[in-house]
Structure 1
Amino acid sequence: MKEDDSPDLPVRKKLPHGIPQWVDERSFYFITICCVPRWENQLCHSRVGQGVLDSVDFYHQHLRWHCLLFLLMPDHAHGIICFPRDEGMKPLIRSWKRYAARTWKIEWQSDFFDHRLRSRVLLEEKVSYILNNPLRAGLCGDSAAWPYVYHPMDRLL
């Protein structure tokens, strides 16, 4: 116990977010990026949401990354993204988060979660999970009506 009687919490290991040389460069990753504080709506306001999705599209159109799907929830975002090996995942996410933070005053957690999607089945499961997230959270009655989603026409399943 610490002096203030709060329990000592375990220290989480930091994820490297590196893409190993043996991983196919065309691999997609399931990404989750959270805001702080949790439960506060920072992303799902029309101007902010559209601006954030436009910045995702900018990175996609300028080949910074290849985005299959990106969806905003009030306090976090999910994406399915392929990253070029030469720039790497962590620097690109950091750059994008910094831009969004400066432009729309979003407060992000310092890190993010990633998971490589190793099969078509897993990719389809994550697409379904992401698209149905607003419905499960009770934010809309039909997931197709959720306005805070980006999926470029050249990257549909």
Structure 2
Amino acid sequence: MVRKRTFDREGHAHFVTFSCDRRHRLLDHDRAKQVVLGVLNSQLSRQDGRCVGFVVVPDHVHAIVWFPRPDQISHFMTQWKQRRSVQIRRLVRCCLLGYAGTIDLTQPVWQAGSNEFNLFTERKTEEKLISMHLNPVRAGLVERPCDWPWSSARSYETGRSVGVPVAWPC
């Protein structure tokens, strides 16, 4: 099997994707999406990172992140996934009892690993940003990317806050 290498010393943005275990729709509820974005925001702040863009749909997450210092992406992904797992489990157990009965909470929240790769050019960064913003449209959740409240598309189109500061890498 060919293993894709992620380079984390050159100052490139990183496109990251991860999915809920067995594609369960654990992010169907707005409060679960808020957890994902809250942890994204706090982890970026802890590591002085920037979010170029993101989208959270019911069964997976995409983000483009950038860090000013080398060797940050691995720690970022580990922390983001671990902290969200704990909070999402807690949310489902205490607040979404009907949903909790439909899934096995002893199973992992996320599929093992994540898909991440470098975005070496501004053109590729723009391409991935547009593609991920179209995810809710392709899934039939909204008609236009800026209509999905769990995405940075609205920030790019209207300049309105989306809860996570969005900024282009330096």
What TM-score do the two structures reach when normalised by structure 2? 0.72
Corresponding residue of 2:167: 155
Counterpart code for 2:53 = L
What is the 5 A alignment of 1:15-30?
A: 15=4, 17-19=6-8, 21=9, 23=10, 25=11, 27-30=12-15
Corresponding residue of 1:63: 47
TM-superposed deviation, 1:93: 0.5
Mapped partners of 1:137, 1:154: distance in 2 = 23
Preserved CA contact (<8 Å) 1:44 1:72: no
Mapped partners of 1:110, 1:154: distance in 2 = 27
TM-superposed deviation, 1:35: 1.2
Equivalenced residues, count: 141
Preserved CA contact (<8 Å) 2:43 2:76: no
Corresponding residue of 1:126: 128
Of the two, which has the highest radius of gyration?
1
Mapped partners of 1:13, 1:64: distance in 2 = 32
Mapped partners of 2:144, 2:111: distance in 1 = 29
Residue deviations 1:5-61, cap 9 Å, x none?
xxxxxxx45555452x4x2x2x101111111112x2111311111121111111223
Residues 144 and 71 of structure 1, relative CA distance in 2, 3 Å threshold: same
Residues 13 and 34 of structure 1, relative CA distance in 2, 3 Å threshold: farther
Mapped partners of 2:36, 2:61: distance in 1 = 10
- Report the identity percentage: 26
Higher mean C-alpha displacement, 131-140 vs 145-154:
145-154
The runs of 5 or more residues in structure 1 that have no matched partner are 1-11
Q: Which has the higher helix share?
A: 2
What is the 5 A alignment of 1:13-92?
A: 13-15=2-4, 17-19=6-8, 21=9, 23=10, 25=11, 27-38=12-23, 40-85=24-69, 87-92=71-76
TM-superposed deviation, 1:136: 0.9
Are 1:107 and 2:109 an aligned pair? yes
What TM-score do the two structures reach when normalised by structure 1? 0.78
Residue deviations 1:86-119, cap 9 Å, x none?
5521222011101100111271111011121111
Mapped partners of 1:119, 1:17: distance in 2 = 15
